Chain A
Amino acid sequence: MVHALEEAHRLLTPDGFLVDIHPVPEAPNIEVRQGGKLLLSEPYPAQSVEDYRQADRAIESAIERRLFAAPGRNHFDFLTYASSASELRDFFKKTGAYDQTPKDQTVEARKAELFSRVDQLIKSTGAAAEVIFVERAQVAVLRPIA
């Protein structure tokens, strides 16, 4: 991660800037809403947020080494909408197909249990509902120090 920041610094013009976007190190949330009414809201059993902490530490290290000035930051919620937990799970499988991190079976079992409950809840409502994956993220803009 630090190497990536060094490479970015080298590629930037002196008056340029680096934009880093990554999730904050906290568990995402799963929500079920129907017509704006919140039916369920639970933390998603994420395997680890350690990668996000390491990204934060890499940025802090680059600032301490005076590669970049202290950043301006904005936080936002990145929302992913699906019509069912199954659809969301399939999407995660597709987008995470390249992830080589070994799966923690306990976490995987908790995800499966949550997805099952969400789909049962949607079926029980008898009307269209949405599953929403809520991920808190940050944008940091860092200006290089020559």
Chain B
Amino acid sequence: MPIKLDPENNEISALFGLAKLDGRHVLEVGCGDGRLTWRYADRGGHVVAIDPFEESIIQARNALPQNLKERVEFHHAAFSDFAASRPASTFDTVILSWSLC
């Protein structure tokens, strides 16, 4: 049996219980292989997802569903470097995905 991560969707249910992402410009920090990204990206207007580990970003890009290719972009970057390269007030939502700790 392959590893199953949160098949009950408890995480995304807890998130959607607090916030709507519909149509928003989202930055996800610490996206890993896109595990969480896929679960909300069809609601976001546009998603920029970053992770400091290149292998994870390669996996995420390879697994990117066709229907999300226009909406989601993955970048191999540390948050501090990425933030320094972007102007203020760029995103409607920033998600720190298990990355603050």
- Chain A residues in the interface with B (C-beta under 8 A): 1, 3-5, 7-8, 10-23, 51-52, 54-55, 58-59, 72-83, 87-88, 91, 98, 130, 137-139, 141
- Chain B residues in the interface with A (C-beta under 8 A): 1, 3-8, 10-11, 13-15, 17-19, 24, 27, 29, 36, 53, 79-80, 83, 86, 88-101
- Quote the shortest CB–CB distance from B56 to chain A (angstroms): 9
19 pairs, CB–CB < 8 Å, chain A vs chain B: A1-B101, A4-B99, A10-B83, A10-B88, A10-B89, A11-B91, A13-B89, A13-B92, A17-B93, A18-B96, A20-B100, A54-B101, A55-B100, A74-B15, A74-B17, A78-B6, A81-B1, A91-B3, A139-B14
- Quote the shortest CB–CB distance from B16 to chain A (angstroms): 9
* Pair count A-B, CB < 8 A: 131
Tell whether, in the assembled complex, residue B15 and residue A19 are in contact, meaning their CB atoms are under 8 Å apart. Answer: yes
